[in-house]
């Protein structure tokens, strides 16, 4: 399997799942969810879906919505196999925020002279 095909299918799934989450899922616990990345397995039969949330804390309702999302994907996409979906909270934004906070705390000689 070429990585080009994997990346095309992953991006197709990311867009479709994002549309489903925003337009079709009415659960208020899912509001503010953004699908950040989809990583496909080599055989394209499973996918790891990474999401972030505007609300503090991790959203657990994605486990309940997984079956619904997969059924919607089956209706929308023309793929031989609709992959099994596993959802993971994307911590990259939290890490970025933490690193940014640490960088702001660094005192350099130039900033000491200004104070």
Would you state the pLDDT for residue 11? 96
Q: In the β-sheet with 46-53, what is the strand arrangement from edge to edge?
A: 33-40, 46-53, 84-89
Identify each DSSP E strand in the chain by its residue range: 33-40, 46-53, 84-89
Report the chain's mean pLDDT, rounded to a whole number. 83
Q: Mean pLDDT, to the nearest integer, of 7-35? A: 89
Q: 65: domain range?
A: 3-114
For the whole model, what pTM was predicted? Answer: 0.76
Number of folded domains that form the chain: 1
Q: What is the CATH number of the domain that holds 103?
A: 3.30.300.20
Among positive and negative, which fits the CA dihedral 57, 58, 60, 65?
positive
- Taking residue 73's Cβ as centre, other Cβ atoms within 10 Å add up to 19
Reported as a pLDDT band with limits 50, 70 and 90, residue 28 is: confident
């Amino acid at each position: 399997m070429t990585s080009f095909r994997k990346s095309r299918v992953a991006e197709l799934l990311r867009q479709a799942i994002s549309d489903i989450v925003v337009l079709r899922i009415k659960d208020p616990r899912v509001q503010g969810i953004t699908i950040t990345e989809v990583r496909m397995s080599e055989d394209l039969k499973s996918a790891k879906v990474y999401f972030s949330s505007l609300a503090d804390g991790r959203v657990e309702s994605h486990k309940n919505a997984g079956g619904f999302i997969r059924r919607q994907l089956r209706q929308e996409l023309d793929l031989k196999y609709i992959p099994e979906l596993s959802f993971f909270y994307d911590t990259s934004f939290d890490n970025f925020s933490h690193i940014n906070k640490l960088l702001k705390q660094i005192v350099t000689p130039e900033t000491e002279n200004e104070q």
